[in-house]
Structure 1
Amino acid sequence: MTVDRRRRSFGPVVLVGLASAGLTALAGHKPWVGFGDAVVNSGGGLGRPEVEALALVALAAWGVLLVTRSRARRAVAVLAVVAGVAAAALAVHGLLDDRPVDIGWFSYDDAQPTPHKTAWGWIALGGAVLTTLAALAAFRAAPGWPEMGRKYDAPAGAAAPAVPLQEQSSIDVWKALDQGNDPTADRTTERPE
């Protein structure tokens, strides 16, 4: 893949990765089992929090991937791949899980309805697969992607010599605060009492 193609892939790959990880997290939170015409609220514990948690890990990895550089970016892409594969595996397990569902906390006048699977499990599986594919594409193309400028890095230079607060202009005080320095530190004069 040429560098130009890698640069063009940045936006679509990141958007697919973010959207699919977010969709997987949402699907993990929603109920995967319904009863009759009713779908059980996720407060009933019928969602898949483990799928949701792994999708949130992948979502966080996409956020970190945007602000890192070179090798760190590839390492974070690997983390997103692992989270996506694990979320997909747990989604498959949730779709194949046929354990009986305890619905004792429902009250029905007639017989209890038969539980059925909702579409959220399939949505989670599809989102996890898309997250994994996007993370693999990020691992491959990340070296050619644009990076944040160095101006966003933490200042690494030597600290400026301390000037007494009384001799600093208000602009100097604000600049010091913007740079993360305490303009009141290391004062050479005592406060008047």
Structure 2
Amino acid sequence: MIVPDGYSDVPAGKIAAVVTHLEMFARPPRRDDPPGNWTLRKVDAPALAWYRDLFRRVGEDWLWFSRARMTDTELAAVIHAPDVEVYALVADGRDEGLLELDFREPGQCELVYFGVTAPLIGKGAARFLMNRALEFAWSRDLRRVWVHTCTFDHPSAVAFYHRSGFRPFRRQIEIADDPRLDGTAPRDAARHVPIVE
């Protein structure tokens, strides 16, 4: 379906975001790590409660909801898949960032989830995390690394991905039930996205 020019109504109870897909076909020049006391640890077979907690703390303000709506069986099938890797950014002994790399498509890596908690935004932790993500991804025999972001995410997300070496290749509109209306997310989450009931 092609969305016509002009305004299109979004039904009450729904949210709509413009999704930008970005990709790279070669490892970009390495960027220096910013100063900071962060480490990254791989989490093999992540516990579902741990994953859900970190996913919420990183993504709630940006209306990350897809994994929150999954059953335990659905979530485990994805994050325990052999070609999916989950990492935690550790700051002051606490997991404060999430990196999920999906290698299930031969020759490709999708940065499925990437983000840090609110206290680390603007401190350089995301740059550290991206440097590791690109190292891990391009250490394999790949032809493409890709990611998507949307207008619910941090306003600097697209620019950050550009600086990291990604280039946009597709734009979509995503419409979904507002997760704040069904209890998937708190009503006060993502205050930059109004609730229309």
Name the TM-score class by shorter chain: under 0.3
Which structure dedicates a bigger proportion of its chain to helix? Answer: 1
- Using the size of structure 2 for normalisation, the TM-score is 0.21
Tell me the TM-score normalized by structure 1.
0.21
Q: Structure 1 or 2: larger strand share?
A: 2
Structure with higher Rg: it is: 1
Higher relative contact order (CA 8 A, sep 6+): 2
